[in-house]
Every structure is written in structure tokens, then in C-alpha cells.
Structure 1
Amino acid sequence: MFVVTLKFAANKAAAPRLMEGHNAWIRQGFEDGVFLLTGSLNPAAGGAVLAHGVTRAEIEARVAADPFVAEQVVSADILEIAPGRLDQRLAFLKGAA
């Protein structure tokens, strides 16, 4: 499982121009079954993604394909978590790639 933070970077002003592509990237992540959650980092610091079912190389490639990352609107940090103790509602995450 991965937690990806997308913190605003030097080219933040380009965000409105790239928003449609960024939203399409998010939509594709959900359609592919990789993204479990996306949301904003408050206050107005960027965004975050919770992803599962992929390898580190696959999530790195997916994150690099985000127009916000490619155009340096945000800088990405990918944290890999090996689930240990889970609430039963999240049991599907145990053993996910």
C-alpha cells in the first residue's frame, strides 16, 4: 500500500491549466482499481493519494504520469506501508502488492 503526497511546488500557478489532465489521471487511478482515496492536504498544501495493488515501480510510473507532477505543479513523495494490524474493514489491504 502506498501513501502519495503531492505538495505544491514552484510551478503552482500552472495548476488551473493542467487541472483537466490531473482530474483525468485521478479518474483513471480509480477506474484501474489502484486508488482507494484522494483528497486535499490542508490548508491548501496540495493533495494525497492512497493506492494499493501495485508495485513500487508501477506507482512511481503512475505518479510520474500525473500532469501536475510532470509539469512541477507538485512534488511527489511516495511512502510504502506494509500493513500489519488492520481494522477488519480494511482486511483486503493485507498482503496487497
Structure 2
Amino acid sequence: MIVVSLTYVKSTAEADQHMEAHMAWVKRGYAEHGFLASGRKVPRTGGVIFARGPRAAVEAYVATDPFHVHGIAEFEITEIDVTTAIEGLDILKG
């Protein structure tokens, strides 16, 4: 599993200017790039995406995020080898 953590480096006002394009990118991520879950950080300092797939493919797709393209957020990508999960979340396992 891949965890993508976005941290805003610009104001939320600037993020909001690109939110519609970012959300279209997220929606495409679910349809085409193995996204499993996503949401805002609380407090609103960025967001987190859980995805499956080859790390290189996820990294390449992240590079196309409008938040990345416009320098709105920094991205940290972490790969996790999930070995244990509650019933119903077996999709997260390696």
C-alpha cells in the first residue's frame, strides 16, 4: 500500500483556487490509479491518500496533481507492506 501525505506550503486560499482541478485529479485517481481512500488532514494543513499499485506509477501520477504542479503542497510518499488488517480490509495487504 502507498500512503501519500500532502502538506500545504501555500495558504488554504491558494489551495482553494486549485481545489476543483485537484478534486478532478483525485476522482481520476480512484477510477484509474488505485486510490482506496483520501481526505483532508484535521486541522486543514493538507491531505492524505491511500493507494495500491506500483510505487513508481503512484509517484508519476502524483507529479500531475495540480497541487504539485502549482507548488501548493509538498508530497511525502511512503510504501507500507501491510501484514495485518481487520476483517474487511484485506485489500490493504501486500
TM-score > 0.5 by shorter chain: yes
Is the Cα contact below 8 Å between 2:10 and 2:72 reproduced in 1? yes
Is the Cα contact below 8 Å between 1:11 and 1:71 reproduced in 2? no
Q: Deviations over 1:46-81 (max 9, x none)?
A: 1110111x1111010111110001111010000100
**TM-score, normalised with respect to structure 1:** 0.87
How many residues are matched? 94
Q: Does 1:43 align with 2:26?
A: no
**TM-score, normalised with respect to structure 2:** 0.89
Query: More deviation in 43-52 or 85-94?
Result: 85-94
For the aligned residues, what is the CA RMSD?
1.5
Is the Cα contact below 8 Å between 2:33 and 2:58 reproduced in 1? no
Cα separation, 2, equivalents of 1:51 and 1:2: 5
Cα separation, 2, equivalents of 1:17 and 1:26: 16
Return 5+ residue gaps in structure 2 as ranges: none
Instruction: Give the letter aligned to residue 70 of structure 1.
Output: V
Deviation at 1:11, TM superposition (A): 6.3
Instruction: Give the letter aligned to residue 74 of structure 1.
Output: A
Cα separation, 1, equivalents of 2:41 and 2:79: 18
Identity of aligned residues (%): 37
Q: Does 1:73 align with 2:72?
A: yes
